[in-house]
Amino acid sequence: GGNKVRKLCLVAAEARACGADTLITVGGVQSNHMRATASAATRLGMRCVLVANGTRPEPPRANALLDALLGAELHYVSSRDERAPTMQALAARMRSEGRSPYEVPLGASTPLGAAAFALAVGELLAQLPRGVVPDVIVHASSSGGTQAGLTAGCALHGLPTRVIGISADDPASSIETVVRGIISGLGAMIGVDGDTLARGVQVTVDDSFVGEGYTVPTAASREAQSLAARTEALFVDHTYTAKALAALIAYVRDGQFRAADTIVFWHTGGQVGLFT
Distance between CA atoms of residues 91 and 87, nearest Å:
6
Residues comprising the chain, all counted: 276
DSSP assignment letter at 255: T
Instruction: List the strands of the sheet with 47-53, edge to edge.
Output: 73-77, 47-53, 22-28, 101-104
**26 - beta bridge partners?**
51
**Active-site residue 78, yes or no?**
no
Q: Is the separation of the CB atoms in 43 and 252 below 8 Å?
A: no
How far, in Å, CA of 72 to CA of 66, rounded?
A: 9
The 10 Å Cβ neighbour count of residue 242 is 29
The catalytic position among 31, 141, 142, 184 is 31
Q: Cα(241)–Cα(195) distance, rounded to whole angstroms?
A: 30
CB 253 within 8 A of CB 175: no
Show the beta-strand stretches assigned E in 79-192: 101-104, 136-141, 162-167
Residues noted as catalytic: 31
